[in-house]
Structures are given as C-alpha cells and as structure tokens.
Homo-oligomer: A and B are copies of this chain.
Amino acid sequence: MTVYHHAVEVHSPLHKPMFHDVTAAAEEAVARSGIRMGTITVYSAHTTCSVIIQEESHDRLYDGTEHLLQDMLDCLEAVVPTCRHEGQYLHPGPLHIRHAEDDLGEKAIWSLNTDAHIRSGLVGRSETIPIIDGHIELGEFGRVYFVDFDGVRARDRTVHFQLLGE
C-alpha cells in the first residue's frame, strides 16, 4: 500500500472569490505516487475555501472567472450574501476581533469574511476521487477546482492531495 502526500500553493489576488483549476497538479500527484488503483482526496485546510469538481465552461468574465463558476457564486450570493460590514452576521463578534487583533496581529477588517466561512462549510472541504488504471476518474469534462471564497484580501493558499492505493 502507498500513501502519498502532495501540496501546491495558489495565489488569490482578485479581492473576489476565485477558482483555481488544480486538475494538472492532481494528475501529477497521481503520476508521482505510482498508484494505479486507489483514491485521491483533494483537500483545503483553510476554513474559507472548498474543493469542487465542475465542467470547464469555456466562456469567461472580463476578470477571468468562468461563466459556470460565476453562476455558482451568484446562486450562493442569494443564500450567503457577501459580508460588507460588521453586524451583518453575528460573526465576527467582539471576542473574535480581540483575538485576531491582539493574538494574531490581524486587522479587524480581515475578519469580515463570514460569507466565505459559511460557503466553505456548505460546499464542503474536500472531494475524494477514484484513481483507476493510474488516472483520476473525472469523466470527459470534469475539472478539479480549489475555491477561495475569501475576497477580503489577497491570499496565498495551500491545496493538499492525499493519495491512497497501490
């Protein structure tokens, strides 16, 4: 049995939710692992990010966002509106802000990412995908996207790949 861990960094500069296509990195992890049959878990340890599988939609907005992914954001906007100021949601409360400012040296405004936390919880933190004959089973059109829902500030993010198999 092989357990293989791989990680890549992505950068989210847009100040809006961003989708990073990590399909090639996932395929590279499978090739490096030597696993022919097993699973790959694509995972975010960041609590404002998610992993989804979606079709590539070809058309893009001026800012580069694929149409289908922007449609997904627009649907989420109706359920979990973008956080624009404190008091819109319960979070962040006073204890959280004191912790962020005093213990972590963060600006209070960076905590106005409540929408990103909730969206990440709803959409889920990972996808587990079969590896069959040395390839990720994504069908004809599937792409793996790491979603950074936090548009408050530019961030560097880590995407984890954990592979099990033989």
Contacts and interface: CB of A to CB of B under 8 A. Distances in A.
Interface stretch (A9-17, A24-32, A70-78): A70-78
A75 B71 contact: no
A101 interface: no
A34 interface: no
A67 B43 contact: no
Interface of A, secondary structure class, is: mixed
A18 B80 CA distance: 20
Interface in A31-75: 37-39, 41, 43, 45-48, 52-55, 57-59, 61, 67-68, 70-72, 74-75
A122 to B, nearest CB: 6
Interface in A147-166: 160, 162, 164-166
Contacts of A79: 75, 78-79
7 contacts: A39-B164, A52-B121, A54-B120, A74-B90, A75-B118, A122-B122, A125-B127
A92 B67 contact: yes
Interface in A82-129: 89-96, 99, 114, 117-118, 120-129
